Amino acid sequence: MRNLWFTSFTRNGGRELMDAPLTNDYLARAREILGDRTETEIEYDDTIVAFLAKGMDIKSAVDAANREHPDEALKPDPAHWEDLAARYDYILKHKLILKKLGIKE
């Protein structure tokens, strides 16, 4: 199998080569980690990520997102906050990767 490459433009206008199969593998793994999400679940997740990016801690971000999206509101018990924080940290980083690759979710 031939190794396919495509060019990505960096913020400073330079170019870097990206490995298409590696990118596809990453995207497949991200879909496994995030699972199937409805449009409203994605909007809720995006709201939490936006609050985290503004410097809120996970509990404050979830509380604020719950007020904006009451139908999607999470009410985790204390044992799940650490896992929830890790999930949203992953989503935040994933969104940055997608942006760098020029891919819309």
pLDDT tens across 9-21, in order? 445 555 454 567 7
The number of domains in the chain is 1
pLDDT value of position 57: 96
Over residues 45-73, mean pLDDT: 96
Question: Please, what is the average pLDDT of the chain?
Answer: 84
The residue range of the domain holding 53 is 5-101
Element (H, E) at 17: strand 15-19
Helices marked H in the chain: 20-34, 39-53, 58-68, 81-101
Q: Please tell me the pTM assigned to this model.
A: 0.75
Over residues 42-63, mean pLDDT: 96
Over residues 80-89, mean pLDDT: 95
